[in-house]
């Protein structure tokens, strides 16, 4: 159901929000048994929010069910970032983005499945003891990652629902593409990261995943803005994104990233993305081919050096003392930390701790981390040079259709990392980007990626609006 229409009915008390929420929770439990989209369903919280709302139905999201990626803190609800190392951790506060939605009457229904701390592109690197979410169109295939649970539940929910995802290097748009929904990643600093379990601080962003771009526009409007609890948030006004959905696009110029088509990209993916571009063209948009050679040549390497370096320090706090998993302290502290970490971190988390720590070591830091940061600046400039002429740059979101779990098993770590070739560029540059579904091939969704300049989110809503008309 259309969210605005639903909210209106809740406010007019045409919908009994408590009964509705009970039904939503029952549906989620059923969906979860089949598809594993939730690490936690927060029934108690949802029902108490519904009861409060019944008395006083206010807010722009009154009664809307919101699922939240597991790495965002929800007060009193087990929040693990998809990791066993945080088993039992219940935050004592809400992440700012979560709080802002609650303040608008949202009902938090649960924490969605993800790759452990965001380490992956398929949501197959889940923490020890957690389930892998299954693609809504074919259960033998992946949802994409790392916000896979958010993508899946957004596709299958037949009730008013939106999800909050998180992206470091593509984790919102990748699952949005594989699950056939809208996924939006804002400019770095546009949405407060307060209450987000850091993956890599200089890259992490929070954004909406929804069925329709108009719902995304609403959620982004609500969660964006300065936060005095988070020093990297930007203190500039937030555009009224919803107003941009219906703005004429005639005469606007976009750039098609030529390196993102051809070798290594599934033909069906290219074909459908070109259909999407044609749709924009029919609405009056002009396009040229553009080139981003630095992103193609150095994007994945630069991204993984920065992401792993930063995450290896961020994960140091999970040592069995302060948060989550604990054990009996029988030995010295170092042995105790090793015991807890060895037992509770998954394989990919350990790989990233080792590589990231190596890249930051005295003697290597300048050669790897600092060099990657310098290349990143060049990549930002490469994007910026195109935004003098173009409103947005377009490419496929993922180079392939959603793969089967069997196919994923055969990939080496490096082949896994290469899946992010389309998405790491805009993430390294901290630029806003959106996934729009542009059709299906053999029943599997194909996503198109549009990237805009810093703080030009409105351009993405303007162009994205074409697909909702
Ligand atoms: N696939 C990328 C990685 O594994 C991106 C993950 C993310 O954006 N959280 O790092």
**Rounded to whole angstroms, how far apart are CA atoms 238 and 225?**
6
For the segment 314-330, what is each residue's pLDDT rounded down to a tens digit?
999 999 999 999 999 99
Mean pLDDT of the chain: 97
Q: Identify which of 82, 79, 119, 85 has the alpha carbon closest to the alpha carbon of residue 355.
A: 119
Across 168-298, the runs of DSSP E, i.e. the strands, are 182-185, 205-210, 253-257, 286-290
- d(CA 57, ligand 1 centre) in Å: 38
Residue 272 has pLDDT above 90, yes or no: yes
Mark 326-353 as b/e (b = at least 16 C-beta within 10 Å).
eeeeeeeeeebbebbbeebbbebbeebb
Q: State the pLDDT at residue 262.
A: 87
Q: What is the mean pLDDT of residues 116-136?
A: 98
| Mean pLDDT for the stretch of residues 114-140 | 98
199 Cα nearest atom in ligand 1: 9
What's the CA-to-centroid distance between 62 and ligand 1, angstroms?
Answer: 32
Averaged pLDDT, 221-227: 98
User: What is the reported pTM?
Assistant: 0.98
Question: Which of 82, 147, 171, 303 should be mutated for ligand 1, with most atoms under 8 A from CB?
Answer: 171
Give the Cβ contact number of residue 54 at 10 Å: 18
- 16, burial (CB in 10 Å: exposed 0-12, middle 13-18, buried 19+): middle
Q: Is the pLDDT of residue 2 over 90?
A: no
Cα 454 off chain centre by: 18
Given this model, what pLDDT does residue 1 score?
Answer: 74
Taking the centre of ligand 1 as the mean of its atom positions, its distance from the CA of residue 167, in whole angstroms, is: 7
On the question of a cis peptide bond just before residue 71, with omega within 30 degrees of 0, the verdict is: no
pLDDT digit string, tens, across residues 143-158: 999 999 999 999 999 9
Question: What proportion of the chain, given as a percentage, has pLDDT over 90?
Answer: 98
Encoded tokens for 2: 């259309």
Q: Which of 27, 43, 67, 69 is catalytic?
A: 69
Could you tell me the CA-to-CA distances from 355 to 114, 301, 333, 340, 364 in Å, in that order?
21, 12, 23, 20, 12
Averaged pLDDT for residues 56-72? 98
Helix (H, G, I), strand (E, B) or coil at 166: strand
C-alpha 146 to ligand 1 mean position (Å)? 6
For the question of residue 279 being annotated catalytic, the response is no
Res. 139 pLDDT band, cuts 50 70 90: very high
Q: Hey, whose CA ends up nearest to atom 4 of ligand 1?
A: 120
Q: DSSP labels for 358-400?
A: HHHSTTTTIIIIIHHHHHHHHHHHHHHHHHTT-SEEEEESSSS
Atom in ligand 1 nearest the alpha carbon of residue 200: 9
**What is the predicted pLDDT for the residue at 469?**
78
Look at residue 441 in the predicted model and tell me its pLDDT.
97
CA gap 187, 86 in Å, rounded = 29
Q: What percent of the chain has pLDDT over 70?
A: 100
Please state the atom number of ligand 1 nearest to the C-alpha of residue 118: 9
Q: How many residues does the chain have?
A: 469
pLDDT in tens, 201-218: 999 999 999 999 999 999
- Ligand 1 neighbours, Cβ below 6 Å, are 118-121, 146, 167-171, 199, 307, 420
Cβ–Cβ under 8 Å, residues 457 and 432: yes
Tell whether the model's pLDDT for residue 354 goes beyond 90.
yes
Is the pLDDT assigned to residue 387 strictly greater than 80? yes
Give the nearest ligand 1 atom to 125 CA. 4
């Amino acid at each position: 159901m259309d969210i605005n229409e639903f909210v209106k009915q809740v406010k007019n008390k045409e919908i009994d929000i408590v009964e509705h929420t009970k039904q939503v929770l029952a549906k989620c439990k059923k969906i979860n048994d089949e598809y594993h989209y939730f690490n936690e369903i927060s029934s108690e919280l949802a029902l108490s929010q519904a009861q409060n709302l019944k008395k006083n139905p206010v807010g722009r999201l009154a009664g809307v069910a919101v699922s939240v990626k597991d790495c965002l803190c929800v007060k009193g609800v087990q929040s693990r970032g998809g990791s066993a190392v945080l088993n039992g951790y219940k935050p004592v506060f809400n992440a700012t983005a979560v709080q802002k939605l609650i303040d608008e009457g949202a009902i938090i229904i649960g924490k969605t499945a993800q790759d452990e701390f965001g380490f992956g592109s398929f949501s197959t690197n889940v923490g020890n003891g957690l389930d892998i979410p299954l693609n809504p169109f074919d259960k033998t295939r992946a949802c994409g990652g790392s916000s896979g649970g958010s993508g899946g539940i957004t596709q299958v929910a037949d009730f008013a629902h939106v999800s909050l995802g998180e992206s470091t290097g593509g984790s919102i748009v990748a699952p949005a593409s594989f699950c056939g929904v809208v996924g939006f990643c804002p400019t770095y600093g546009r949405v407060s990261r307060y209450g987000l379990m850091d993956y890599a601080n200089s890259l992490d962003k929070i954004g909406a995943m929804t069925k329709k771009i108009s719902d995304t526009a609403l959620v982004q409007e609500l969660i964006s803005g300065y936060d005095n609890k988070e020093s990297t948030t930007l203190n500039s006004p937030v555009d009224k994104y919803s107003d941009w959905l219906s703005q004429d696009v005639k005469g606007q110029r976009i750039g098609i990233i030529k390196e993102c088509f051809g070798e290594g990209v599934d033909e069906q993916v290219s074909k459908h993305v070109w259909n999407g571009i044609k749709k924009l063209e029919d609405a009056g948009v002009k396009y040229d081919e553009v080139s981003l050679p630095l992103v193609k040549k150095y994007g994945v390497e630069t991204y993984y050096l920065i992401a792993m370096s930063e995450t290896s320090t961020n994960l140091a706090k999970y040592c069995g003392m302060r948060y989550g998993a604990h054990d009996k302290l029988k030995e010295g502290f170092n042995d105790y930390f090793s015991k807890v970490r060895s037992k509770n971190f998954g394989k990919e988390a350990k790989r990233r701790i080792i590589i990231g720590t190596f890249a930051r070591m005295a003697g290597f830091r300048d050669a790897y981390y600092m060099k990657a940061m310098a290349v990143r600046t060049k990549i930002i400039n490469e994007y910026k040079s195109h935004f003098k002429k173009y409103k947005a740059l377009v490419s496929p979101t993922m180079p392939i259709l959603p793969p089967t779990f069997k196919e994923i098993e055969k990939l080496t770590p490096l082949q896994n990392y290469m899946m992010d070739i389309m998405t790491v560029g805009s993430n390294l540059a901290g630029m806003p980007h959106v996934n729009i579904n542009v059709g299906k091939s053999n029943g599997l969704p194909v996503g198109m990626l549009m990237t805009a300049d810093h703080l030009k989110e409105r351009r993405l809503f303007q162009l994205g609006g074409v697909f909702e008309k």
